[in-house]
Structure 1
Amino acid sequence: MPSTSRPVALASGVLALALVLAGCSAAIVPGQATPAGPPITDVSPADFPITGAAETEADVTSRNALADLNDYWSQTFPEVYGEDFPALAGGYFSVDPGDVDESLYPDGEIGCSSAPEEVEQNAFYCPPDVGASNEDSISYDRAFLQQLSDEYGRFLPALIMAHEFGHAVQGRVGYPADDTSINVETQADCFAGAWTRWVAEGNASHESIRAPELDGLLVGYFIVRDPPGTGAEEDQAHGSYFDRVSAIQDGYDGGAAACRDNYESDRRFTQAEFDDQEDFDNDGNLPLAQVPDLIAQSLPAYYTDSFPDDLGVDFTEPAIETFDGTAPTCDGMNADTNAGFCRDQDTVYYDQTDLAEPAYEIGDYAVLTAVAIPYGIAARDQLGLSTEDEDAIRSATCQAGAFSGAALNQEVPTISISPGDFDEAIQFLLTYGKDPTVFPDVGLSGFQLVDVFRQGYLYGLTACGLEA
C-alpha cells in the first residue's frame, strides 16, 4: 500500500561504486570536521524505548536518528503545516528476523499486527486507522540496517529511519497526488533529505554527517531503487535511482516546504517500462560498438537546436574522436586525461580503452555522460566562457542534465531514453566525479555534481551558466 514501505531487499550483484555553474542553483554542501553545537551523545534506552531492541550498533544508530527526527519534526511541522507534531502513538519495534524472541513483543506482534519475521530486510511505517494493532509505528530489521551500515556507511540506516518518519508525517497530513505510490515514496525521500540537511548543519543532538559522507550516502541508496523497467504507475513503485536521489536532494536544497509543495500529479519521473522484451533482456543498452555513433548523432543534434532556441546564438559542432591509452597533445588536455576538449583542434576526445569500456560496465548512458561533460566544455568555449574552473565543470554537468531531460521528453530525435539511463548517469557521476583523469580537480563532490545534473534536467540549458 502507498502508506507503508514495501521490502527493500538487497539486490544481488550491486555495483560497488567508488567513492556547477554560474547562474545555477546548486547545493552548497555543509559539513565540518567536527559537528557544530554540543557533543554528540547516544540516547539512553530509558529515554527513548524501542520494543525488542538488543542495543546493537544498528539499534543505537536508529534510536539516535529517531530521537533527532522527533526533535526536527517538533520544530519543523508547525512551521510547514501550522500545527504541533503528534508523537507516534504506536512506538518503535526492532527485530532480528534470524533470532526472534516473540515474548519481547506485545502479543508477539510488531507494527500493523505483523509477525516479527515479516520485517526481514526491510523497515516500514504502519499508518493510523488501518484496523490493526500497533498502528502509527515504525518497525525495522536491525540486522539489515547493520548490513547497510557496514557496506555503505553509518548514516544510511539513519536515512532509512528518516524516510519511514516521512511516512509518519504523511500519516498526519495526507498523501500527495491521490496516493500514487511513487509520489508517496519519493516525498518521504524528500522529507529525509530535508532532515539530512538539518543534521549536516549541526542542529541534531545525536546524529551527525560530514560533507564527504554525502557521496557514500547516495551510493548506498542505489540498493533501494526499483529495478529498471518498473512502471511509474505500479502500485508499489518507489522510484528509479535518479528519482529517489533527486527527491533527497530536493529536500536537502529546499527543506520540508519543498517536499510539501512539489509532489503532486504533475511531478515528472524518469521511471518507465521497457518498450519490448529485447530492451528488457539487455537492460536497454546498445552494444558498446554502437555507442560512439549514438554519441556522434545525439549531442550535436541537441546543441544545434538548443543554442539558437535557448541562447539566441548558433552552435558549431566540435569533432568527437576516440583514442586508446595516450591522449592527443593539444591545448586543454594532458597525457593523463581520459576525456577532454582540445581547443586548438576543436575536438572532444575520450579514451575508448580506459574510459568508455569500464564506464560501459555501468551502462551505455554512462559512456554518453562521460562524453557530454567535455562536450559541454566545448560549448562554453564557443561562448568565450571559462573551461577549466569550477564554474565550467558545474556548467558542463548541468548541460548533461539538460540534454538528458530533452532526450527524455523526446526532443532529441536521434536518441531514445531507456529505463535506467538516468540511473547510469548518476552512477557515472558518483564513480568518476573525483577521478582527475575525467573531471578536473576543482573541489566538487559527487553529491554536488549529481545535484547540478538534476538542476539541468529540471530547468534546461538556460539554467547552466551559459550567459556571457
Structure 2
Amino acid sequence: MSRRPITGPVFAACVMLLVASCATTVTGQPVSVFDDPFKVAGMPAVDGPTGLRPDAEPPTREVENTDGSEIDELAAAAISDIEDYWEITYPETFDDYFMRVKELISWDASGLENSEFCGAFTYALVNAGYCFLDHTIGWDRSELLPGLRDSFGDIAVANVLAHEYGHAIHHQARINEKDTPTLVVEQQADCFAGAYMRWVAEGNSPRFTLSTGDGLNSLLAAVISFRDPVLSEDEFAPGADEHGSAFERITAFQFGFTDGAKSCAAIDEKEIIQRRGDLPVELQRDQTGEWPVSEESVNAVVDALDTLFAPADPPTLSFDASMAADCPDARPSPPVSYCPATNTIAVDLEDLEEMGKQSAQAEAIGVIAGDNTAYSILVSRYMLALQHERGGVALDNAEAALRTACLTGVATTKMTEAVTTSDGNTIALTAGDLDEAVSGLLTNGLAASDVNGDTVPSGFSRMDAFRNGVLGDEERCFKRFP
C-alpha cells in the first residue's frame, strides 16, 4: 500500500513476481468450483493423510550421483509417480507416445563434489530443473528438497518435481517456440503440476496421497513460497526470467487442478496479458510497497473505499474493539469486526498492526506477510457492509464467506488506481500487495470469512473466489455466490 500527498500522479501495482527453477478456454465438460463452498473443483474438501503412502510402490527410476539418502528416494518416487500419470495422460492430451526423461541427477549444492547439471557446476546450485539439452531432471539434495519437505511435507517435493516435469512435457509436445517468454512456460509447468496433483487427490497415485483440505492448503502455501522479489521499475525488464506472481502461479496451478492437462496449453502470452489486465508489475522509484498500519492509514483506506463504492449509508469506523462483543446480530471477528445492526466496523488496532508487519521468520519459510495482509481483512469487513446495504443475501454462511472474498478481490483491483481521500492523500496498492492478500487467504482466511469470522475449510476455494473478484466485478460476485 502506498500513501502520498496529492502533488503528482501515483501509479500502483498489485502483482509480485515468483522465483522457481525453473479466462482459459478448455474443451469438454466444465467442472464448476462454485456449486458447493465445501468442495474443491468438484471434490469434497476434507482433511486427511497427505504425502508418501506408508505402503507406497517403490520407485521405478534410478538416480545418478545419489548418496542413497531418503530425500533422493523420495524424489525418485515422485518422478516415478509423475511418469505413471503422464503415461496415461500424455497420449490423451497430445495424441502421441510419452517418452520419459533420460536421467535423474542428484547433487549436493553445499559440497565440493565435481559435478555438473545442464552444463553448470552444481556447487551452490540450490535448485531443481529440467535440462532440455539432454532431456534430464536434476535437484539439490542438500538444501532445496529437504527444506521443502521440512516446511511443507513430502507432497511439496513431489509438486516441485511435477513442475519440472511440466517443462519436459511442453518441450516434448512442442507447444512453445524458442522465443516463448519464460513467464508462459513457467505458468504452463505450474498448470501441469496442478493436473498431476488432481490425479493424486482423486486417489489414483500408488505412492502419494493429497487431502483436499489441509493438505492442499499446505501445498498452495508451498507454491507461493517460490517467488521472485518485488522489483523497482529500474530493475524490472518485462519477459526477462519472469515467472509470475504468487497470485498468477496459484491461478495456473488451479487451471490444471480444475480443468486438467488440456487446459495448460491454452496458457499463452495473450491469455496471461488478459489475466493481468492493466496491473503493472514493479514498484515505482520512490515506493517501498509498505504503509505501516496506523489509525491514520485505517481511516484513509476506509475513506478510499467510501469514494470507490459510494454506498448510500457508509459504515461507521470505530477503534473501540470491545463494542464488537455487544453486536446483537454478529459475533466478533478480530482484528476487524462488522456489526450489521449498527453498520459499524470495529478495529482492534494493536492486533491489526501486528498482522500487517513483515516478518523475517515468516519469510524464511516462504510465507508472504506485509501491510496488505492486514488491510485486506479491513477491506473484507467493508465488503460485508456493502452486502448488508444491498440486502437480499445472508451474511452468516459459507456463501457469504466466499462472496466476501470475491468482493475483496473486486476492491483490490479498484484500489490499484490512486484514490484521493479527504485528508489530502492518495491511496493505492503497490507491488506485492496482491500476494500479501493471497497469503492471508491461505493462512488465516479472514478476508474470506462471513460476518462471524467463519471461513470455508479450503484455501483453494477462498483463492478461487478472490481471483474471480480480482478479474471480475461486483455483479459477478453476487451471481456466483447468491
Q: Aligned to 1:320, what secondary structure does the other structure show?
A: strand
1:127 matches 2:139: no
Aligned to 1:62: 75
- How many pairs were matched up? 424
In structure 1, C-alpha distance between the alignment counterparts of 2:241 and 2:203, rounded to whole Å: 35
What CA RMSD, in Å, does the superposition of the two structures yield over aligned residues? 3.3
Aligned to 2:324: 327
Aligned to 1:186: 187
Written as runs of structure 1 = structure 2, the 5 A alignment for 1:45-444 is: 47-88=60-101, 90-99=102-111, 101-102=113-114, 108-110=115-117, 112-117=118-123, 120-128=125-133, 135-143=134-142, 144-174=144-174, 176=176, 178-211=179-212, 212-229=214-231, 231=236, 233-267=238-272, 268-269=275-276, 272-276=281-285, 278-279=286-287, 282-285=288-291, 288-304=294-310, 316-324=313-321, 327-334=324-331, 337-361=334-358, 362-381=369-388, 382-408=390-416, 410=417, 415-433=427-445, 440-444=453-457
2:321/2:346 contact within 8 Å kept: no
In structure 2, C-alpha distance between the alignment counterparts of 1:401 and 1:437, rounded to whole Å: 15
Q: Aligned to 1:297, what secondary structure does the other structure show?
A: helix
Q: Aligned to 1:333, what secondary structure does the other structure show?
A: coil
1:369/1:400 contact within 8 Å kept: yes
In structure 1, C-alpha distance between the alignment counterparts of 2:387 and 2:130, rounded to whole Å: 48
1:322/1:349 contact within 8 Å kept: yes
1:93/1:140 contact within 8 Å kept: yes
Q: Aligned to 2:356, what secondary structure does the other structure show?
A: helix
Deviation per residue, 1:327-371 (Å, 9 max, x gap) = 351233335743232111112223212234423443222222101
Deviation per residue, 1:383-405 (Å, 9 max, x gap) = 22000100000100011112223
Query: Larger deviation: 398-407 or 172-181?
Result: 172-181
In structure 2, C-alpha distance between the alignment counterparts of 1:325 and 1:8, rounded to whole Å: 48
Q: Post-superposition shift, 1:71?
A: 1.6
1:372/1:396 contact within 8 Å kept: no
2:191/2:254 contact within 8 Å kept: yes
1:197 to 1:6, Cα distance in 2 relative to 1, 3 A: same
Q: Aligned to 2:209, what secondary structure does the other structure show?
A: coil
| Bigger helix share | 1
1:197/1:252 contact within 8 Å kept: yes
Aligned to 1:16: none
In structure 2, C-alpha distance between the alignment counterparts of 1:85 and 1:460, rounded to whole Å: 42
The normalised TM-score by structure 1 is 0.80
Q: Aligned to 2:138, what secondary structure does the other structure show?
A: strand
Aligned to 1:459: 472
Deviation per residue, 1:1-48 (Å, 9 max, x gap) = xxxx97669xxxxxxxxxx9679997345556358xx9751424xx31
1:439 to 1:161, Cα distance in 2 relative to 1, 3 A: farther
Q: Post-superposition shift, 1:428?
A: 1.7
Aligned to 1:41: 56
In structure 2, C-alpha distance between the alignment counterparts of 1:440 and 1:348, rounded to whole Å: 13
Q: Post-superposition shift, 1:229?
A: 2.1
1:266 to 1:434, Cα distance in 2 relative to 1, 3 A: closer
Read off the aligned partner of 1:157 and give its amino acid letter.
V
Unaligned runs of 5+ in 2: 1-17, 23-32, 359-368, 421-425
1:318/1:346 contact within 8 Å kept: yes
1:81 to 1:459, Cα distance in 2 relative to 1, 3 A: farther
2:113/2:123 contact within 8 Å kept: no
In structure 2, C-alpha distance between the alignment counterparts of 1:370 and 1:335, rounded to whole Å: 13
Q: Aligned to 2:68, what secondary structure does the other structure show?
A: coil
Read off the aligned partner of 2:205 and give its amino acid letter.
A
In structure 2, C-alpha distance between the alignment counterparts of 1:253 and 1:232, rounded to whole Å: 32
Q: Post-superposition shift, 1:114?
A: 2.8
1:461 to 1:55, Cα distance in 2 relative to 1, 3 A: farther
In structure 2, C-alpha distance between the alignment counterparts of 1:423 and 1:432, rounded to whole Å: 14
In structure 1, C-alpha distance between the alignment counterparts of 2:290 and 2:335, rounded to whole Å: 25
The normalised TM-score by structure 2 is 0.78
Aligned to 1:12: none
Q: Post-superposition shift, 1:138?
A: 0.7
Read off the aligned partner of 1:94 and give its amino acid letter.
S
Identity of aligned residues (%): 28
Read off the aligned partner of 2:281 and give its amino acid letter.
A
